[in-house]
Amino acid sequence: AKEHGKSRFKVFNQKMHDQALRLMALETDLRRAVDLREFEVAYQPIVCLDTRRVCGFEALVRWRHPEHGVILPGDFISLAEDTGLIYAIDNFVLVAACAQVKLWQTTFGHLMGELLTLNINISGKHFGQPMLLSQVTRALDDSGLNPQALNIEITESALMDNPAVAEEVLKQLKSLGAKVCIDDFGTGYSSLSYLQRFPIDVVKVDRSFIDGVEGNLDSQAIVRTVFSLGESLGLKIVAEGVETPAQLAFLENEGCRYVQGFLFYRPLSATEVDELLAGGSIG
């Protein structure tokens, strides 16, 4: 038994060792990727249910690795956060997407009833860093994008980790004219009172609740509550991860006006969005 335990320990150790090596290799790769700008932005349309048309996009980063192909953010964001590379990655997406959406507005603006909006994800680690404000200011100035079109998405934990700092940063972002959006709403550790305390414009109901609305009464109750709360607080609510007609039917019945999910569109390349917009699917 003792021998067995020993060898298991060895295997475990070897595994940890391999994992550490892989992580180190990934970190080296990620540093190089930042230097060489190996990132691309995918744009997932947000659909306005009143018109059934695209009213904005969420920018989602992709890493085009020279050997491994496209790597999704789930496989490198946490490493980017641990290594501080996230500041450069978030900023790359911010700069690229502001310029891209400005171009779409200019090219297709005459077809639009509303201003085409852009949602950008800012890591909780990045949020609250003094550089964020100047990066956002710079991206807006350089692109000429109307600040009103920019939504900065942050999670509840980014707010709650340091509420006093968060409140200040939100105010500064708002003073630039940008909007603030709570991402993955309902999954974090927070109290509802912060919706009132912080100057928030948009709330995105997390996919896990949308997933449940087909059969799960708790999810239904939560989604309903968020919509009625949103209405009384004057918030814009976006349902994320809408995948089925049944989910859509439930949401429409609850007065939902904005949706994002595979039922409508997957994240698209800029070229695919060009085609979509040229086809007139915007509003």
CA distance 135 to 114: 26
Phi, psi of 198 (to 5 degrees): -95, 150
Among residues 144, 35, 153, the alpha carbon closest in space to that of 95 is found at: 144
262 binds, among Ca ion, ligand C2E, none (CB under 5 to 8 A by kind): ligand C2E
Tokens 């414009």, residue located = 201
What's the one-letter identity of residue 243?
A: E
Tokens 């996009």, residue located = 57
Among 61, 96, 183, 186, binds Ca ion (CB under 5 A): 183
260 binds Ca ion (CB under 5 A): no
Shortest distance, CB of residue 188 to ligand C2E, whole angstroms? 12
> Do the Cβ atoms of 19 and 246 come closer than 8 Å?
no
Give the list of residues 6+ apart from residue 62 with CB closer than 8 angstroms, or none. Answer: 39, 40, 41, 42, 70, 71, 72, 73
CA distance 240 to 243: 9
153 binds Ca ion (CB under 5 A): yes
117 binds, among Ca ion, ligand C2E, none (CB under 5 to 8 A by kind): none
Map the footprint of Ca ion across residues 224-253, applying CB under 5 A: 240
* Minimum CB distance to ligand C2E smaller for 186 or for 267: 267
Shortest distance, CB of residue 146 to ligand C2E, whole angstroms? 21
Number of residues in contact with Ca ion under rule CB under 5 A: 5
Burial of 256 (0-12, 13-18, 19+ CB in 10 A): buried
45 binds, among ligand C2E, Ca ion, none (CB under 5 to 8 A by kind): none
> Do the Cβ atoms of 144 and 175 come closer than 8 Å?
no
* Minimum CB distance to ligand C2E smaller for 95 or for 111: 95
Query: Which token pair is 170?
Result: 């939100």
Strands (E), 3-110: 39-48, 53-65, 69-71
Shortest distance, CB of residue 119 to Ca ion, whole angstroms? 7
Q: Which residues are near ligand C2E by CB under 6 A? A: 44, 60-61, 72-74, 77, 86, 90, 93, 121-123, 183-184, 207, 241-243, 260-262, 267
121 binds Ca ion (CB under 5 A): yes
Contact stretch for Ca ion (CB under 5 A) within 29-37, 75-83, 149-157, 167-175 = 149-157
Phi, psi of 76 (to 5 degrees): -145, -10
* Minimum CB distance to ligand C2E smaller for 122 or for 202: 122
184 binds Ca ion (CB under 5 A): yes
Residues in contact with Ca ion by CB under 5 A are 121, 153, 183-184, 240
